[in-house]
Structure 1
Amino acid sequence: MRRTCWVGLVPTFYFGLKTMQREPIAERIDNIAIKAAESNGVEFVHSEILGSKRNMTVRIYIDKPEGVTLDDCSIVSRAIEEVIDADDFIPSPYVLEVSSPGLERPLFSIKDFEKFTGKKAKVKTSGEIDGQANFNGRIVSVEGSEIVFEDKTKGTVRIPFDKVAKANLKVDLSEEFKKKR
């Protein structure tokens, strides 16, 4: 007797003539994290899912203007974990990490670039722009879907947001110490 086994298909649910795919895990986690962050007075910054479905790490970044405390992370972590565990949509044990994005925080969205206009940053692009793919300098402004960036070697460069592969703030300790005085 021969059996047919389907592996890797996403379950489909029928509602009349329409079909609906199950909501992806990442999207569900984002929705849960956004609600947990907002209800606890912090901003949801970003989430990452690392590893495999059998050994998953869910990393959530939160922030607030005066900085995130350990208590903020703990409270948001418990709120997220409670919903994930109640909904039981992650098929195996997982590790949940909730933290601040840090001093040299990653920049994930146009909104992040707008928020940190005037700050030093490092940007890596998916392809070369004016013969260069790594930029180190200062965020000048955001115009539509382009980041105007003052690069140390190239001067002013316009970087389309869809070409940004990775970006993060760079902390200048001498500037920070001058602010404290």
Structure 2
Amino acid sequence: MSNHVTSVTEKLVQPILDEMNLELVDIEYKKEGQDWFLRVFIDKPGGVDIEECGIVNEKLSEKLDEEDPIDMAYFLDVSSPGAERPLKTQKDFEKYVGEHVYMKLYEPIDGEKEFEGTLVSFENETAVVEIRIKTRKKQLEVPFEKIAKANLAVTFN
């Protein structure tokens, strides 16, 4: 059910985003408490504003009403992914080289399964992340398929 909803939503929202030069970051359809939420995260270089989110919300809402892929009540929420944007595709990793990232892996590499560090490079489907262990720095080579979850991480210097 959830996959069907997200794939239909993606088909409906993509032309709207293309027209507005916006990028689809992620779609979530999940239950929180008693309510279902359909969340669409959009972005563009420099970030999206509340007005753009509102326009996409309105246009997508019309399309969803026409197609009616969801047979229950839900809340539609279109927003920016924020500072801790998820990194889902290889293109995302290429785009954010040099940024501070958080990663969670399916299996440990050099004893590390969850870490934060600087994304040094991404090529040949491998991310190189520099992490700090106490006072020394260490580079981990992480194959793309071993990454369970990754997002930009906010640093406080």
When the two structures are superposed, what TM-score results if normalisation uses the length of structure 1?
A: 0.77
What SS is found at the alignment partner of 1:156? strand
Gaps of 5+ in 1: 1-9, 11-22, 175-181
Q: Tell me, yes or no, if structure 1 residue 169 matches structure 2 residue 149.
A: no
Counterpart contact for 1:121–1:167, Cα < 8 Å:
yes
Alignment of 1:25-174 (within 5 A): 25-51=5-31, 55-153=35-133, 155-174=138-157
**CA contact 2:105–2:148 (8 Å) conserved in 1:** yes
Structure showing greater relative contact order (alpha-carbon pairs closer than 8 Å, 6 or more residues apart): 2
Gaps of 5+ in 2: none
SS at match of 1:117: coil
TM-score, length-scaled by structure 2:
0.88
Partner SS for 1:148: strand
CA contact (8 A) 1:38 1:44 kept: no
After the TM superposition, list the runs of 4 or more consecutive aligned residues in structure 1 that deviate by more than 6 angstroms: none
More strand by share: 2
CA-CA distance at 1:150 after TM superposition: 0.9
* 121-130 vs 43-52, which moves further: 43-52
Distance of 1:44 and 1:115 partners within structure 2: 14
Query: How far apart, CA to CA, are the structure 2 residues paired with 1:77 and 1:173?
Result: 33
Q: State whether residues 5 and 29 of structure 2, in contact with CA within 8 Å, keep that contact through their aligned partners in structure 1.
A: no
Amino acid at match of 1:64: K
| Alignment-mate amino acid for residue 113 of structure 2 | A
Percent sequence identity is: 36
Would you say 1:24 and 2:4 are equivalent positions? yes
Deviation for aligned residue 1:24: 2.1
Please, what is the CA RMSD of the aligned residues? Answer: 2.0
SS in structure 1 of the partner of residue 55 of structure 2:
helix
Letter in 2 for 1:98: V
Q: Which amino acid aligns with 2:146?
A: K
